[in-house]
A and B are shown apart, each in its own frame.
Chain A
Amino acid sequence: KTGLPLWLLGLGVDRLRADMSRLLALLFHQGVLDEQFLQLQQLQDESCPNFVSEVVNIYFHESEKLLRNLRGLLSDREFSDYKKMGMHLNQFMGSSSSIGAKRVRNVCVAFRAASEQNNRAGCLRALELLEHEYCYLKNKLHEFFQIEQQRVLAAVVRYPIQN
């Protein structure tokens, strides 16, 4: 209401933390994320403060590449290289389960099943769904990291007071 970001006021740390928790809980509840994401967060400490966001960014980067490849493979009319697609999907699945992106991973599983059956229509549908899920995840995680960043900044602001 003041027009200033909340963190500048140095008051919102708890509120931001609560927001983060709520967002996380929502994502868990929706099944977008699973406990692996928590594990990931536990790995983050003073020695590597941006570990989670770093990993997630790698994930986004890789995933977009994979999605592009998949889209390219499927848009080809005389497409038959299901094996290659399976490899891409395995990659996608591995990285998704590593960061705990559960729904993306599940879609990948379905996608791979369709590709194993050489079901082109199914693959296309799955790809749509995958892109949708991926976008959703990406948006939410971006939101999450934004809040996190604000929180860190707020914490920094409060730091001297706390000390």
Chain B
Amino acid sequence: MGVKIQSHHSVAVMLNDQLGAKKRVTFVYTYRAWLLKLLLIWGFAGLIISGLIYNNMDADAKLRRKEVLVGMCDQRARMLQDQFRVSVNHVHALAILVSTFHYFKTPSAIDQETFAEYTARTSFERPLLSGVAYAERVVNAERDEFEKQHGWTIKTMDREPSPLRDEYAPVIFSQETVSYIESLDMMSGEEDRENILRARETGKAVLTNPFKLLGSHHLGVVLTFPVYKSKLLPRPTVEERIEATAGYLGGAFDVESLVENLLGQLAGNQAIVVNVYDITNASDPLVMYGHQHQDGDMSLVHMSNVDFGDPFRKHQMICRYHHKAPMSWLALICACFFFVIWSLGGYILYGAADHIVKVEDDFNKMQELKVRAEAADVAKSQFLATVSHEIRTPMNGILGMLALLLDTDLSSPQKDYARTAQDCGKALIKLINEVLDRAKIEAGKLELEAVPFNLRSILDDVLSLFSEESRHKGIELALFVSDKVPEIVVGDPGRFRQIITNLVGNSVKFTERGHILVQVHLAEHSKALMDSKTENSMNPGLHEFVALSGACQFNTLSGCEAADDRNSWDAFRHLVADERFCSDASNGMVTDEASGNVTLMVCVEDTGIGIPLHAQNRVFTPFMQVDSSTSRNYGGTGIGLSISKCLVELMGGQINFISRPQVGSTFSFSVTFGRCEKNGFINLKISHSDDLPTAFRGLKAVLVDGKPVRAAVTRYHLKRLGLICEIASSIKMAVAMCGNNGSLTPGFGSLPDMILIEKDSWISSGDEGGLNVRLLECKQNGYALKLPKLILLATNINADELNKAKAAGFADTIIMKPLRASMVAACLQQVLGVGKKRLHGKELNGSTFLRSLLCGKKILVVDDNMVNRRVAAGALKKFGADVECAESGKVALEKLHLPHAFDACFMDIQMPEMDGFEATRRIRLMESEANRRSNGGPTVGGIASKVEWHIPILAMTADVIHATCDECLKCGMDGYVSKPFDEENLYQAVAKFFEAKPFPDT
């Protein structure tokens, strides 16, 4: 109880631990509260970034716009400048022309007409000039002469006769377009005068400010070139220039129309506004071209300098766009597009994170549920343990009462029934234990035992469990174990039994007619045989059987078709034949390979309903049945096969099956056992579990059976009892064998002791009385002194047949199948009346063995409870042990003070003051000290023989729970026995420590 409470507690603790340990969460989950904020931040970031993108692209566009403007402006400025230069050059050329032909030639080669014509014809060279004129320098002294020569007076710009001046510059030659200025004094105009003065000082082309030209409303500038009378020195001074000046050639540039003309030729004229300024006086720029009022895009302006060739004057071209920069749609669209994508991305991320959070939440929930489910599972296991414990208790009562019953005087069948009931009860208890083990299988903690056991008796037991049911259903249940399979193998009998029970149980459940055959062969043997399907006929006699049993459709046990035809007689014959050959040829061969392992192949064949093809691949899945109707019709949970599979795999084998619907299934599995070294005490133990009488050794039997497989199975059972058996396929043949009196087979020197007849053969032979008559004939002929006993073998028999059988002389001698060696033995005993005595003598074997182990041993029993002490002492004394008692751990320590004479110690665990664990620890400590001393120094107290002190200490405990057992072993105990002593349990615990002695008292 205490332990139970503790374990509950530990479950709770485990649950908490798991909850704590599994709380690992992802980053996203930790910051799940921030998700929405993060999404908003993300959105803001998107807005900002898209704004930046927009700005960037917009700036780019502006830059490009500016570059375009600069390019256009510069291009215009350059063109204007070039055109201007060309015109200036031409005027220069005209100036040279005038100086050449007017002054250097005498008389002058130019007059007004020539000049006018020439200039008119070359005006295309000067597109910028509205016209050119030549004005001669006339000093005041020469005025009169000049006026006389030309016949007109010098006039001012206002067309009045010029007042008196130092100098005059009247126009003498003029192009026709400006003929109206002839005779006008150029010096009278303010701009012209300045121009003239500067021109003659510098000797270069000189420009005026822009002003409204005479005769037109356009703005314009006047270009003035000086014309010198004589060739100038290479570096003339200003005075020299003024001195040499003969006149001035001038031309008016109509800048406005010219520029307009020029711009009209260029692309993109409409887009930009061009202004040209004279910025000689930087503070007051003068407009040369363009409108004074500011229109167009004022934000973007480009200025280009224009050099018209006059170093004194500076000009500038200012360009700007006509229209304001258009909205940058591309940038806007790009930014919007980016923002949309960014938002979508953010939303997707948010969605993902949200999903992660949800999944994590679910995961946590699941985790919690899982932990709970696991806790529930543990609780279930505990419940199972408790319940099965509770079931075990009444079962023990049943078993006890059965044991009492068996002690009373019972008739042979009654005894058999009672024993069967007891066996079944024991099997049930074992099954309950197996249910307990299921938890272990699930936890993967199953440990396999390795104890020697008798394979055949285990199989017998299993079959006997199902014998009633199979008999009831009328199906034949049979067992065949190959002779080559060792009698005793080392392995886990419980598990092996569990597997077989399960498979046979399934077969019985699903089979309504036909047979169930369990076969055990050596794996390599059967495999080799399956591989090489050589048709070798070892035994001609057996061939004969096949020929005779042609009536059967299939050569199986019952004649029904089986799923795996490998198991039919064809293969079976070889196995049996081969076996016979081997055992005949070399009896010692089996023991040759005494060491190592032996791999067995076990087949369970049935002729049941089979497994539907669609369900075949999930046969081994736990809780899987073919369909829901299966459990309705047949019951069961469907866990059996999965457990079997686990167990087989644990045993180092494989399980598989062949199944055909409506034909049957054959499950076969391989399993590896250890070979048993032939050791005395194991033999004793085994003979206890397989107590077949030996009274029938050497008796001869004839078996009449038409079906060879069945015959082989029957012979196997008879052989185990030591009978020598011959097979006849029909009664006639059997009679012939008896009649020939040994001439047929050398083994039969005389008449057989018994004739076993299969019911089918007997019915089919038709003449029921025939056999008896024939036998009687034999007797009368004096062949034999004693009639062989007749025994009928039957699976099921109805009342009619029973009567018939009785009439035919099988009064008490019907053996009901399935055959078991022990049952056959019991029947034969009844029939032959032998072997009863010897059988009785054997029954005491188990306790005598225990007795041989314990007899004369000195054993200390430590228990604080007087009753328990007394019971334990009584139990041990019964087996001849010399028992001494101690009522507490302290007393035990004193008694076990070295050196002592005890052979073993049984120690209670729960004791006041000093419990069993503590006492054991102290004893072990004491022993190890003594061992050290004796090993290191001289031997103590003359006991030289015992070098190592180690007294076997066995715990006595009421609750055999694994934890307790583990603790027992941990603190130095050697084993444990559950408290109410039980022979088997005691044997298992004690057998480890004591060698079997020969029987001290017989």
In the complex with contacts A55-B871, A58-B866, A59-B867, A94-B910 CB distance below 8 A: yes
B867-A35 in contact (CB<8A): no
CB contact between A21 and one of B400, B404, B877, B981 (< 8 Å): that residue: B404
Q: List 6 A-B contacts (CB under 8 A).
A: A34-B396, A34-B397, A40-B874, A55-B867, A91-B865, A98-B868
In the complex with contacts A98-B865, A99-B871, A113-B1 CB distance below 8 A: yes
A35-B871 in contact (CB<8A): no
A35-B397 in contact (CB<8A): yes
Bound together, the chains give a CA A113 to CA B393 distance in angstroms of 21
Of the candidate stretches A46-54, A120-128, A154-162, the one touching chain B is: A46-54
CB contact between B399 and one of A35, A43, A99, A112 (< 8 Å): that residue: A35
B-side contacts of A98, CB under 8 Å:
865, 867-868, 871, 979-980
A55-B874 in contact (CB<8A): yes
Q: Which A61-103 residues have a C-beta within 8 angstroms of B?
A: 62, 87, 90-91, 94-95, 97-100, 102
A84 to chain B, nearest CB (A): 9
Closest to A100 in B: B980
A12 to chain B, nearest CB (A): 18
B878-A45 in contact (CB<8A): yes
Q: Which A9-34 residues have a C-beta within 8 angstroms of B?
A: 21, 25, 28, 34
Bound together, the chains give a CA A39 to CA B878 distance in angstroms of 12
Bound together, the chains give a CA A91 to CA B863 distance in angstroms of 10
A43-B878 in contact (CB<8A): yes
Decide if B582 is an interface residue (CB 8 Å cutoff). Answer: no
B867-A95 in contact (CB<8A): yes
Bound together, the chains give a CA A109 to CA B397 distance in angstroms of 20
B916 to chain A, nearest CB (A): 12
Decide if B870 is an interface residue (CB 8 Å cutoff). Answer: yes
B958 to chain A, nearest CB (A): 6
Bound together, the chains give a CA A28 to CA B868 distance in angstroms of 21
B878-A95 in contact (CB<8A): no
B-side contacts of A97, CB under 8 Å:
958, 979-980
Closest to B874 in A: A43
A96 to chain B, nearest CB (A): 8
Q: Which B629-645 residues have a C-beta within 8 angstroms of A?
A: none
B-side contacts of A87, CB under 8 Å:
912
Bound together, the chains give a CA A54 to CA B869 distance in angstroms of 12
CB contact between B870 and one of A38, A58, A113 (< 8 Å): that residue: A58
Q: Which B188-225 residues have a C-beta within 8 angstroms of A?
A: none
Decide if B982 is an interface residue (CB 8 Å cutoff). Answer: yes
CB contact between A47 and one of B400, B865, B877, B982 (< 8 Å): that residue: B877
A43-B867 in contact (CB<8A): no
CB contact between B865 and one of A25, A43, A94, A109 (< 8 Å): that residue: A94
Residues of A within 8 A of B (CB): 21, 25, 28, 34-36, 38-40, 43-45, 47-48, 51, 54-55, 58-59, 62, 87, 90-91, 94-95, 97-100, 102, 109, 112-113, 116
B878-A62 in contact (CB<8A): no
A35-B868 in contact (CB<8A): no
A62-B1 in contact (CB<8A): no
In the complex with contacts A34-B397, A43-B874, A62-B866 CB distance below 8 A: yes
Bound together, the chains give a CA A48 to CA B874 distance in angstroms of 8
CB contact between B397 and one of A28, A91, A116 (< 8 Å): that residue: A28
Question: 4 other contacts beyond A54-B870, A97-B958, A98-B980, with CB at 8 A cut-off?
Answer: A34-B397, A39-B875, A43-B878, A100-B980
A58-B396 in contact (CB<8A): no
Q: Which B396-437 residues have a C-beta within 8 angstroms of A?
A: 396-397, 399-401, 403-404
A112-B1 in contact (CB<8A): yes
A-B pairs, 7 with minimum CB distance: A95-B867, A35-B400, A35-B396, A38-B400, A36-B980, A94-B865, A98-B868
CB contact between B958 and one of A45, A94, A100, A112 (< 8 Å): that residue: A94
A-side contacts of B863, CB under 8 Å:
94
B401-A28 in contact (CB<8A): yes
A-side contacts of B5, CB under 8 Å:
116
Closest to A39 in B: B980
B-side contacts of A116, CB under 8 Å:
5
B864-A40 in contact (CB<8A): no
A-side contacts of B399, CB under 8 Å:
35
Bound together, the chains give a CA A109 to CA B4 distance in angstroms of 12
Bound together, the chains give a CA A122 to CA B971 distance in angstroms of 37
B1-A43 in contact (CB<8A): no
A94-B982 in contact (CB<8A): no
Bound together, the chains give a CA A90 to CA B868 distance in angstroms of 12
Bound together, the chains give a CA A38 to CA B403 distance in angstroms of 9
A130 to chain B, nearest CB (A): 16
A91-B864 in contact (CB<8A): yes
A116 to chain B, nearest CB (A): 8
Bound together, the chains give a CA A150 to CA B864 distance in angstroms of 34
Bound together, the chains give a CA A98 to CA B910 distance in angstroms of 14
Bound together, the chains give a CA A110 to CA B874 distance in angstroms of 30
Bound together, the chains give a CA A62 to CA B870 distance in angstroms of 12
Q: Name which of A45, A97, A112 has the most chain B CB atoms within 10 A of its CB.
A: A97
Bound together, the chains give a CA A36 to CA B958 distance in angstroms of 12
Q: Name which of A36, A43, A59 has the most chain B CB atoms within 10 A of its CB.
A: A43
A-side contacts of B877, CB under 8 Å:
47-48
Q: Name which of A40, A98, A113 has the most chain B CB atoms within 10 A of its CB.
A: A98
Q: Which B852-902 residues have a C-beta within 8 angstroms of A?
A: 863-868, 870-871, 874-875, 877-878
B-side contacts of A112, CB under 8 Å:
1
A-side contacts of B870, CB under 8 Å:
54-55, 58
A43-B875 in contact (CB<8A): yes
